[in-house]
Structure 1
Amino acid sequence: MEKTNAILAFSALAQEGRLDVFRLLVKAGPEGLAAGVIAERTGRAANTMSAQLNLLSQAGLIESRRDGRSIIYSACFGQVSDLIVFLMEDCCAGEACVASNVQAAAERALCCAPADASNSRKSLQ
C-alpha cells in the first residue's frame, strides 16, 4: 500500500460516524448490509449516511453491490489487511515483540483465527 492510500483510509476513519459505519460493516462480514439497515443501526439520517458511505468507498475501505432495489455495502477486508501490513511492515526492526502482539490480536478475531484455534473460538460464542 502506498502512503497516500493509507492517509486516505485513515482520513476516512477519522470521524466518529464513519468509524461506526465501518466497524458495523466489519461485524456484518462479507455479506454486508443494506444502506437503510446501516442508517437505522447507527441512528443516522439517510443523506448523512450517503455521504459517509461515499467517503469510505472512495478510501477503498468498503464496496457496494446492487441487490434488487437495495444497495448492499461490505467492508473490503483485503484493503484493511493491506493497511495493517502498511502500519506494521517495519515493526521493531524485525524483532518479534510487537509483531507477536499483532498476531495474537488477529487470532482473537474469529475471522482471522488459525484453523487449529477455530473450534475453540466457536465454542466461546
Structure 2
Amino acid sequence: MENIASESRHVSTHIARTAKDVYDYASTPSNLPQWAHGLGNSIAGIDGQWIAESSPMRPVVVAFAPQNEFGVLDHDVTLPSGETVHNPVRVIVDGTGCEVVFTLRRRPGMSDEDFQRDADAVTADLATLKQVMERA
C-alpha cells in the first residue's frame, strides 16, 4: 500500500483565556454558529447527529471527538457527497492563556485557490473564537 503524505497547513491563534474555558466553549456543538461560520450558520442535534446548515455546502454532519482533558477538538465533517473530512484541532495551554491550532489538510484534487480559501475561512473562524472568548 502506497503512503502518500498530504499537504497540511497549521492555522493558529492565541487566546487570552484559559485552555479549559476555550475548550469547554468550543467543544459545545451548539456554540459553533457563534464562532465557526466556515462550518455553518446553524447546527441542530437530530437523531443523535449534529447537522450544520451552510449555504455553500448544504447540510453537513459534524461528529466531534469525545470530551477529553487533553484539549483535543477534532471533528469529522461528512459532506453531502458522502466524503468525510477529518479536522484535527488542539487547544494548548500557553501560560495563563492558550493557543488553538487547526491542522488544515489539502484534499485530493483541491486547487491552490480552494486550499487558500479554506485556510482563510479557518483563520476567520479562529479570529472570531478569539474575539468571543476574550470579551466574555
What's the TM-score once normalised by structure 1's chain length? 0.26
Task: Please identify which structure carries the higher helix content.
Answer: 1
What's the TM-score once normalised by structure 2's chain length? 0.25
Greater C-alpha Rg: 1
